[in-house]
């Protein structure tokens, strides 16, 4: 696959995953209480059964891109670039949301608008910036930062094709066993998603020819279709974490191969700022849903309309606000977008 074609497909892939993430958080069944059961069923199906592929796809893609053409002599450069593309924006956005909550507490705090009130202290500042206390959707980025900076260990485990496959299988079984929950839910979750990140890294090291050169071939597409169907059936028969991680993996690979199977047009300019969309969407969709519910309640099928329209609204807002920031505050834009 040519470099430009590969980069374009990555943009399409990440944009679709980003829209699925927005869709997850657009689910408003907890806000529009009492809306038609059919609407709740539609929203739940789309968010729980379809959109959940997004997190898996991001980890798989991130692992692949990090280890694609990787060697230990490139580690320092990789770490330096990720410092500016992940660590710095992670801290800046978390700080921004902390200050937003501090300001909101002065206005809406006495009204009890927030379950979790923000107060100023160095302890709270640490929890806000490092532990994403007031920006909970950034759990993904915190996990990704940890995976990036334990790269030497991951590389040691997966650099050999056969040992790496055995390690992947071991991580899958360890995650599926549930024994790690004794060390806390964060530790267990980090190992769960590590399986998908390492799977991406393994493909980047050992499967580049099939992912890129043979991408879009009927055989590869059929393999991922069969893998997706089989893993879903396995999960239905044995609804445990092992089966769930497997169907996450195959669904994420299937989406990539579906995109490979056809010639994609050039990604539009508004499809490229996926990190910015990810960083701001939650505030928009939650505020939008609550505002409309306060005004209309369940009238006119407002919940379903918001569920469908808010992802479009987020993309439009991010496209034009991002263009404004790029033009008038280029340095600030580079910081908050990770120089993407």
Q: What are phi and psi of 339, to 5 degrees?
A: 55, 35
pLDDT at 162 over 80: yes
Least confident window among 108-112, 174-178, 297-301: 108-112
**Mean pLDDT lowest among 31-35, 199-203, 270-274:** 31-35
Q: What is the mean pLDDT of residues 144-152?
A: 96
- Length of the chain, please? 340
**For residue 105, which phi and psi values (nearest 5 degrees)?**
-65, -30
CA pair distance 238, 229, nearest whole angstrom = 14
pLDDT of 111 > 60? The answer is no
> Taking the domains of the chain in order of start, what are their residue ranges?
3-337
- Pick the residue with more confidence: 326 or 103? 326
Only one residue has tokens 């410092």, namely 83
Q: pTM to 2 decimals?
A: 0.93
- pLDDT at position 216 is 67
Burial class from Cβ neighbours inside 10 Å (0-12, 13-18, 19+) for residue 110 reads: exposed
pLDDT at 32 over 60: yes
Instruction: Using pLDDT thresholds of 50, 70 and 90, give the confidence band for residue 215.
Output: low
Work out the pLDDT band at 214, boundaries 50, 70, 90.
low
Residue ranges of the alpha helices (H) in the chain?
3-26, 37-45, 53-67, 75-82, 88-108, 122-130, 139-149, 151-158, 161-177, 185-206, 208, 218-237, 241-260, 274-296, 302-328, 330-337
User: Which candidate, 178, 152, 260, places its Cα nearest to that of 214?
Assistant: 260
253 contacts 286 by C-beta, under 8 angstroms: no
Q: How far apart are CA 245 and CA 202, in angstroms?
A: 16
Average pLDDT of the residues of the chain = 91
pLDDT score at 116: 56
197 contacts 62 by C-beta, under 8 angstroms: yes
Position 65 pLDDT exceeds 90: yes
Contact 159, 205 (CB under 8 A): yes
pLDDT of residue 280: 95
pLDDT over threshold 80, residue 113: no
Predicted confidence (pLDDT) per residue in 193-213, tens digit: 999 999 999 999 999 888 887
């Amino acid at each position: 696959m040519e470099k430009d074609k590969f980069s374009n497909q990555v943009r399409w892939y990440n944009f679709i995953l980003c829209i699925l993430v927005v869709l997850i958080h657009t689910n408003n069944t907890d806000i529009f209480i009492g809306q038609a059961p059919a609407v709740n069923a539609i929203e739940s199906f789309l968010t729980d059964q379809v959109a959940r592929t997004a997190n898996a796809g991001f980890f798989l893609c991130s692992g692949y891109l990090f280890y694609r053409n990787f060697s230990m002599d490139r580690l320092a450069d990789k770490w330096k670039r990720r410092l500016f593309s992940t660590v710095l924006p992670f801290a800046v956005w978390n700080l921004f949301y902390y200050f937003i909550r501090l300001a909101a507490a002065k206005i809406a705090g006495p009204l009890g608008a927030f379950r979790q009130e923000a107060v100023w202290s160095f302890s709270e500042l640490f929890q806000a910036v490092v532990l994403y206390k007031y920006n909970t959707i950034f759990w993904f980025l915190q996990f990704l930062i940890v995976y990036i900076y334990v790269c030497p260990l991951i590389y040691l485990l997966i650099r050999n094709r056969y040992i790496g496959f055995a390690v992947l299988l071991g991580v899958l079984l360890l995650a599926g066993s549930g024994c790690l929950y004794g060390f806390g839910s964060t530790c267990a979750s980090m190992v769960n998603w590590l399986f998908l990140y390492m799977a991406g890294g393994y493909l980047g090291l050992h499967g580049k020819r099939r992912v890129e050169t043979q991408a879009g071939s009927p055989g590869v597409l059929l393999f991922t279709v069969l893998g997706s169907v089989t893993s879903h059936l396995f999960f239905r028969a044995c609804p445990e974490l092992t089966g769930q991680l497997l169907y996450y993996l195959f669904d994420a690979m299937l989406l990539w191969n579906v995109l490979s199977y056809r010639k994609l047009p050039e990604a539009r300019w508004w499809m490229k700022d996926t990190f910015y969309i990810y960083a701001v969407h939650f505030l928009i969709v939650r505020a939008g849903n609550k505002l409309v519910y306060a005004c209309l309640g369940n009238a006119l099928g407002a919940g379903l309309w918001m569920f469908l329209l808010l992802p479009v609204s987020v993309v439009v807002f991010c496209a034009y606000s991002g263009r404004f920031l790029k033009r008038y505050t280029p340095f600030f834009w580079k910081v908050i977008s990770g120089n993407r």
